[in-house]
Amino acid sequence: MNDITTIEGVGAPLPLPNLDTDQIMPKQFLRGIDKAGLDRGLLHDMRFDANGAPRADFVLNQPAWRDTRVLVAGPNFGCGSSREHAVWGLQQYGIRAVIAPSFGEIFYSNAMNNRLLLVALPQADVDQIMAAVSDPVAPASIRIDLSTMTVRAGEFTKAFSLSPRHLDMFRLGLDVIGMSLTHADAIAAFASRHHADNPWLRDVAATTMARLGRMAG
């Protein structure tokens, strides 16, 4: 994976509170066995009418915001069910970050683990960014800098914070497994000590694997 130190691009205003994952990615797009086509499902019932035609009045269908890279959203964005497809759909569409006053807890974890950057700011600051990106003629570009930990939209700049673990995931270009593997030596040392102190575990593991092999055969 590539490291991410800056995210920059068109910001789109989506000031709806409590936009849940069922709306972000409707259930009919969860049937596939892979992630293909989830960009079509993103905010589907808002983006398209009952006949599948784009709704001209929806922000992402308007010329100024068709190349959106950052969503500026209302409070409690991503609440609802735990469907990770909501995160994948945002990423497939081209969204690289979401700025909002707050996020659904499970959505936050899913997004950050997939390296979709979520930035939580006070409502007053989000309102200023929302105003900057709401001009349909020339919406402000947003720049999120992980080296300075700042968000800039037009003339507005604000500092934000992330947990050290999440910051390392972006800066080092690592997912959850990659972060775990940075501790591979410590994990191996623990496993060696644990098996030495509990030698019976190897016998249990061998018996279990043999049983599974017989069942599979």
User: For residue range 114-131, what is the model confidence (pLDDT) as tens digits?
Assistant: 999 999 999 999 999 999
CA–CA distance, 100 with 118 (Å, rounded to integer): 8
Residues 103 and 206 in one domain: no
CA–CA distance, 93 with 118 (Å, rounded to integer): 16
**Mean pLDDT across the chain, nearest whole number?**
93
Residues 88 and 143 in one domain: yes
* Any domain includes 128: yes
CA–CA distance, 54 with 58 (Å, rounded to integer): 8
Residues 150 and 197 in one domain: no
Residues 211 and 155 in one domain: no
Residue 60 has pLDDT above 80, yes or no: yes
Residues 37 and 101 in one domain: yes
Residue 217 has pLDDT above 80, yes or no: no
Residues 57 and 164 in one domain: yes
Residues 61 and 90 in one domain: yes
Residue 216 has pLDDT above 90, yes or no: no
CA–CA distance, 183 with 111 (Å, rounded to integer): 23
**Contact at 8 Å (CB) between 140 and 120?**
no
Strand runs labelled E in 105-193: 117-120, 141-145, 150-153, 156-159
- Which domain CATH number covers 145? 3.20.19.10
Which pLDDT value is given to residue 32? 79
CA–CA distance, 9 with 11 (Å, rounded to integer): 6
H/E run at residue 44: helix 44-47
* Any domain includes 1: no
User: Beta strand pairing status for 68-73 and 6-14?
Assistant: parallel
Residues forming a β-bridge with 150: 145, 159
Nearest to 142 by CA among 172, 121, 112: 121
Q: Angle, nearest 10°, between helix axes 85-93 and 105-113?
A: 50
Residues 187 and 85 in one domain: no
Which pLDDT value is given to residue 59? 97
**Contact at 8 Å (CB) between 78 and 104?**
yes
Give the total number of structural domains in the chain. 2
Residues 198 and 128 in one domain: no
Nearest to 2 by CA among 184, 190, 171: 171
Residue 160 has pLDDT above 80, yes or no: yes
Residue 33 has pLDDT above 80, yes or no: no
Of 5-19, 88-102, 114-128, 181-195, where does mean pLDDT reach its minimum?
181-195
Print the domain residue range for 201: 183-216
CA–CA distance, 186 with 69 (Å, rounded to integer): 38
**Contact at 8 Å (CB) between 95 and 68?**
yes
CA–CA distance, 193 with 186 (Å, rounded to integer): 11
Residues 88 and 156 in one domain: yes
Residues 166 and 187 in one domain: no
